[in-house]
Every structure is written in C-alpha cells, then in structure tokens.
Structure 1
C-alpha cells in the first residue's frame, strides 16, 4: 500500500539523529512519518507527495530551533514587540517554537486571568508554535498550582529588581519558599540570578561609559546569586534552570554542581558569545542588557562551558523595547532599557562564531534546538526523527548577509549587530509540515504535558 505524504524534503545534507548526510524526510498530518536513505541519490518515499522539496547543493535541512527565553510583551507593551512580529522574526531566523516569558507584558503571567488573556491573543497572531512560562512573584503562591495545571512550562523569578514594577523580585526567604513549593507540582523554577546586595554596593551606572555600566553589575553579583540558587536546589531538589549566564567564573562552580547530581540546567545567549565589552563604544546603549556583556576572557570561559556540556543551551533573551527607551541619542547606560533584540539573528550569529571555533552545525542545533526542547519537556520538538513534529528549516550555512535592522521582522529597528556580516541564511521554515508564508498565522499553543 502506498502512503501519500503531504511533504517530502530530500537532499545530500539532512541532519538526523544519525548525523549529517543524504536522506529523505516524509511528512504526514504535521508529523515526520518516515526518514530513509536516498537510493542512488534519489528519493523513494512519497514522490507523489503534495509538495516535494529538493535541497540545493548549498542547503542543509535541520530541525526547527526552540527559543525558550523570549519577551514578546503583548498585551500591555505591544509597541515594544508583539506575537505577530516576534513569531515572524522567529520563523525567518529558523525558530519554530518559542516559550514566552511572563514579563514584560501587562498584566504579567502570574495568574490565570493573565495567562488566558495572553493565550487568546497568541492563538490569533502566531506564525510559530508558542508556549508560556508563569511567574513566581511575592504574593502569588496560590496561583502556582492553577498555572501549572493550565500548562505553563515552569516559573520564572528574579533575585534582583526586574526593571518593571508589575513583576517584583523575590527576596531570599521568598525564594526559599518558592523553591520548596514548586517541587510539589513537579515543576521547574527558572532564575535571573544576580545578587541585589552586591549590585547595591557597586558603582552607579549613570552616564555614557560602558565600563561604568559593566562595573555596576560585576561577575560577583552572579556568583553570589548562583551560590544561593545551588543551596536551594540542594535542599529542595527543585528542578532549576539558570537563565542567561554571563559570568564565566561561574562555569567551574556549575560543573561541580552538575557532577554532584543537582537537577540543574544552564543557558547563555548569543550576545555573551559574540560581543565583547572591549569593543563596545561609550554611549552605545543598543548593547545594554543585564547581566552585561563582559570581556573577551569571560566569553572564552562560556564557550568552554558549552564545549564540555556545563552550559546546556543558547537562547536569545529577546528583550526589545521602543527606540526612545534605548536612549540611543543620549547614550546613558543608567537610563536606557536593558535588553537586546536578536531573535531573528540568533542562528546566524552563533553559526558564524561557532564554525570559526571548529564546531559543527550539529553542535549549534543541539544547543539551540534539541537541548532547549528537552529542558522544558517538549516531547516532539528539536529533532528530525519519526513521530516528531515536522518543524523543518532549510538553511544555507555558507550564504552570507549584512545585518540591516530595518529589514528585520522585529517591531523596533535597533540591534547591536547592525552592519555585521554573518554566515547562514534561512531559506524556508516549516511548522508542523506547513511552510511559513508570513501572511497567515498557523502557529499552535503548546502546554506542558500536551505538546
């Protein structure tokens, strides 16, 4: 009996669980139905498929990437970013799944009303699949169980001022309580780990000096907070994910914690792996984020952490704002919003840097697709494997382009990568077997345990 497939993609460079090589991938009803070798360079599966895509000699088929750290900001701060623009940017950059942070939307995703509001908006506007984090903030302990039951992927908390009034950080005692409560739900806590006392004792960041801003959020703030996090994970057993690691000095500490058997995963971001403090001009507030971009020697420690597996994932921490909030003209690092918009560029940024260091496209996909999916429990994402969602990306790794913020799908045209030449261009993105056309949103809402 011949099976008629919806889509067949084949070529000489397909990244499956067996590595990179010739293969054919057949899709039926949004899932990968079969993966087989080519015969004399030709496909044998579904040649009568509704759509057949032969890869060019310069193209590689990879699984859709998964970004578990994105601030989409809708509702409430939609001028900063929204589901329409963010998910178009994701698809254009090779990402087929996003998990949205509980801030900086208004209301924050800290109760069921906010989650239902955000879910309804996302269902109408998303071009890729979207799930949600909940927030653990002071005074919302009674909302954690309902949010968990509704399918949030875990709970985010800040250990320092979040930068927005409506999402307050947890003090030490509140954090201990959250870390004790969340395991009862079989949930995960994800943490912005900077120590407020260390930051309070540091110099003020006011002014145009990037060195002054860097000194205002030293590595010691991350290191002190990480000690608190590890103590909490050790005493409660809570699944713990450390967000946006920028402190290279923490890598050895985190490696030891993993060796100890703590339930810990760690992410970092493209800006920490590509940009260096030494190269940031004074007044260039497009580079401002928290924790800050650190020196080249620190960057090398982060790459070492990726190489040895201490750092599990690379995510964008896409945190955009309007142009005025970045204070591009004034250049005051104390006044400017701290966040970098890089969702559409992440794959190309990391591939450009990784290949210089001898890493493969398989390494990049593991850091940006497979591992993020596994960390949050996405059971059918991040791999080209039978039974997985047919999230496919046709990628040209040697094709280059020059970054032009005006041509990105991000709502606000500001990026620290302006005019950089990058390698790697996404030619086509499929979400559950359907090509993203940037006209009709077809993304689905994902929930924990039903994805």
Structure 2
C-alpha cells in the first residue's frame, strides 16, 4: 500500500463506529434532491428498527448533554437528558463517555463516476465516507464524464450510483458557458433536483467543464434566484504577474515553493473582488434576491477573507468554506517532490494557516469541506515529483473528522464548534432540512467516536479510498 497522505502529521482521535445511515423518504427526495435509496442492508449497522443510544456526551443544538437518543425507523423521535428514563425498552446501546454527534456532511466531494472510476467511484468513496463518520456527501459535477451540466448527465450519474452507496449522496450541477447562455438547460438541471451549481473562474483542468466569466455568473444567478439555490465558485482568476512563473534554470518544478508562487493570493483576491461586486444584488429587495454565492476551498486568509467579511456585513448572501488540508499543513512543511500535497488554491504558509484558524473559530468561515479530489498515481506524477505538471487534488474524505479534531483542539476547537462546522451549517447551506443536528424529527445520521483515543495511520490501517 502506498504511503498515505495524512501520515505526515500525527492524528489524535479514532472513530469507534458509525451507527445509523438513513435514506430520505421518496417525497422528501423529490422535493429537494435526487438521492439513491440505500439497499436495506446498508441503511444501518444496528439490527433494531427501534432503539435507544445512551452516552454521557451527546452533542445537541442546546449543548452537550448526558442522556439518550431514541430512534425509530431511522428517525430521531426523542432526546432525553439523564439516564434510566427509557421506559421498558430493552434495546438500549450504552456508549459510556464516547461522543455521540450528528454525522458529518461533506458538501465538496469528487467521486468521479461515471467515466473515471479508476480515480474513485461511488462504492469506494462512500465506503470511505462511512468509515470516517461522514453520513452525507454532496458530489461535485466534475471530474466525472460526462460532467453534470444537464439533466441528461444527472440521470446518467444517478444510474451510476444505484446500489453502490453506503451513505446519503446529493449532487451539485455545473454552471458552464453553455447552460449560462441557454438558461433552459440550467433550469432543466435544477428542476431535475441538483442542490445548486458550481462554476470555475479559472480553467478547471477538465476539458468539458470550461471556466465562466462574471457575465456567465450573473446569468446563472438570475436563474438560481428563482430556485433559491446556491452558486458554488472556485474563486481564482489568473493574473499576468511576475508570480506566474516562466520556467528557467533557476526554478525547480519539483520544489513546492515553485508551485506555490504560480498561484499567489492575488488570484483568489481578484476573483472574490469580482464576485462581491455582484453579491450586492442578492440582498433583500435586490434583483438577485434568493440567489446565494458560496466561495469554495478558501486558501487566502488575508485580503480575500476581508472582502468576504465586508460583503457579509453589508447583508450580501455569501458564504465561504475552507478545508482540513489548509488547516493542517503549511507550505514550509511540504517536502519537495511530494505531489500528494498539490491542490488549488495551494496550501500557503504557516502564518496564513494560523489566520485561517482564527477565522474558523470566530465564525468568519462558515463551514468545512474536504474537496476530496483523487486521481490515479500516474497523474499525480509521484515518481517524477513535478508539481507544475501533476494533477492537483488531495484524497482525504475518510479523514475529515480526525484531521479537523486533531489540529483544531490545539486552537481551542470545541465539540459543539466541530459539529456546527461539519454538520449543522453544511446541512443548512445545502438545504438538507432534516439533517445536521440531533433533534426530534431529524434523520438519525449519527457518528460515535472517542476524541481522546489515538491511532497510528500506517500501512496496516484500513483505508477504503481507491487512491489514498
């Protein structure tokens, strides 16, 4: 087995078990998003349809309680503080002081099926999600083939996912010039059930997912406003600057710093500056009221974040995410030639990482996601170690929870904040009304884990990702 990416830094938590994965009822699915019904033997790791979970640490919207959660047919029907109050029920599973909290919702996942199952696929990707405490993923419109930019492509993706998923799966569509300029295609995609759409303001690396200009984005937002669904944006604009390297004898393509200098923070800043010029129209009473702009995988903690904070203060409908790899690693630590760390925007320096953590803990960054983006080793150029030619993307879906907690607790991250960033806020953002919290009526998507237990991520550790 190849050395695993997260082996570089120690992890300080272990997942004990995943309890319940509940599929959406057909009526709810039709209203919100197309979700493949899980086969019966995949819906739960527990043999009972009606049971209680007991723990001294249950993360609820009201705080951490010692008590029990009653589950019937995959839904939470009561949450009780205190013990011994389950009546005559014999089906009580006591987890002691293990943490019981909502399953993670990862809204930024590339599973690459159909078309590129050698990269990942629904089977391995959702197994990895389940193993890591992620009970819902929302899958990106690329890098599958075809990309999900029409209702016909979405139908192919739904068919590809049938009988292969181990957690709930929703889908984003794609905003590209073709459907931005022919809004009937975009409306067909939204009517078919995608939760929103994603666009790139720079080349995506995939030929059939071309970049959008700010004019395309405006056209897309006018449609999204009617459906009240978000636009997710890869926010980088290529800048003609000295930082955009022209290789010469003094610049080593195998040095991480060479790659870092090719995508400076000014790329993110330029894109976000254009976006916040549009988001003013998303305010209450504005021409784009009902639309929402979401900045994906923010890397720059300086001017880019300041622009977003200013737009929020004006009442613009805008949000932002960052990813565990930006919070766990810094450019100074990345070995030359180790192209497993290549992603875009790039992992920046240690000071930037500290400022990102500040923004997360102060609530300026709304939620976390993995941007799980695997590929085959040949495209990562692991042997050559060439950062400039290697595929950009980090394979990390199985380790959202341990990586975030391992590093976050050093900055004072609490269990309540962890659940807010990985469950409640992603559910709200994606429109998953019955997910994200342990509350009566919600789906019983629950993870049980021990924050204090350590494990070594070595070659013997069970990893379900196709290319860790």
The 2-side partners of 1:204 and 1:19 are apart by 53
Q: Please say if 1:350 is aligned against 2:404.
A: yes
Q: Please say if 1:220 is aligned against 2:266.
A: yes
TM-aligned CA deviation for residue 396 of structure 1: 0.8
Structure 1 pair 60/284, CA: closer, same or farther in 2 (3 Å)? same
Structure 2: state its 5+ residue gaps. 1-47, 282-287
The 2-side partners of 1:121 and 1:204 are apart by 42
TM-aligned CA deviation for residue 171 of structure 1: 2.2
Give structure 1 regions of 4+ aligned residues with deviation exceeding 3 angstroms.
Answer: 197-201
Is the 8 Å Cα contact of residues 202 and 212 (structure 2) preserved in structure 1? yes
Structure 1 pair 370/271, CA: closer, same or farther in 2 (3 Å)? same
Deviations 1:350-403, CA, capped at 9 Å, x for gaps? 101111111211111111111111111110111000000001111111111122
2:300 alignment partner in structure 1: 247
1:191 alignment partner in structure 2: 233
Deviations 1:64-103, CA, capped at 9 Å, x for gaps? 1100000000110001001011111111111100000000
Q: Which residue of 233, 247, 268 maps to 2:322?
A: 268
Q: Please say if 1:230 is aligned against 2:273.
A: no
Structure 1 pair 190/204, CA: closer, same or farther in 2 (3 Å)? farther
Matches of residues 260-409 of structure 1 in structure 2 within 5 Å?
260-404=314-458, 407-409=462-464
TM-aligned CA deviation for residue 176 of structure 1: 2.7
Alignment RMSD (CA, Å): 1.7
1:107 aligned counterpart, secondary structure: coil
Is the 8 Å Cα contact of residues 246 and 272 (structure 1) preserved in structure 2? yes
TM-aligned CA deviation for residue 273 of structure 1: 0.5
Is the 8 Å Cα contact of residues 8 and 46 (structure 1) preserved in structure 2? no
Q: Please say if 1:412 is aligned against 2:463.
A: no
1:182 alignment partner in structure 2: 224
Q: Please say if 1:155 is aligned against 2:208.
A: no
Is the 8 Å Cα contact of residues 10 and 54 (structure 1) preserved in structure 2? yes
Is the 8 Å Cα contact of residues 239 and 266 (structure 2) preserved in structure 1? no
What is the total number of aligned residue pairs between the two structures?
Answer: 405
Deviations 1:84-138, CA, capped at 9 Å, x for gaps? 1111111111110000000000000001111011112223100000000000101
Is the 8 Å Cα contact of residues 280 and 311 (structure 2) preserved in structure 1? no
2:102 alignment partner in structure 1: 63
Structure 1 pair 374/203, CA: closer, same or farther in 2 (3 Å)? same
The 2-side partners of 1:213 and 1:392 are apart by 40
TM-aligned CA deviation for residue 200 of structure 1: 9.4
Deviations 1:202-230, CA, capped at 9 Å, x for gaps? 11577101111001000000001000111
2:297 aligned counterpart, secondary structure: coil
The 2-side partners of 1:149 and 1:308 are apart by 36
Structure 1 pair 188/20, CA: closer, same or farther in 2 (3 Å)? same
Q: Provide the TM-score with structure 2 as the length reference.
A: 0.84
Structure 1 pair 380/211, CA: closer, same or farther in 2 (3 Å)? same
Q: Please say if 1:38 is aligned against 2:93.
A: no
The 1-side partners of 2:432 and 2:191 are apart by 16
2:79 aligned counterpart, secondary structure: strand
The 1-side partners of 2:305 and 2:187 are apart by 33
Q: Please say if 1:124 is aligned against 2:156.
A: no
2:177 alignment partner in structure 1: 138
Highest relative contact order (Cα 8 Å, sep 6+), 1 or 2? 2
1:54 alignment partner in structure 2: 94
Is the 8 Å Cα contact of residues 15 and 61 (structure 1) preserved in structure 2? yes
TM-aligned CA deviation for residue 28 of structure 1: 0.8
1:425 alignment partner in structure 2: none
Query: After alignment, is 269-278 or 18-27 more displaced?
Result: 18-27
Structure 1: state its 5+ residue gaps. 414-451
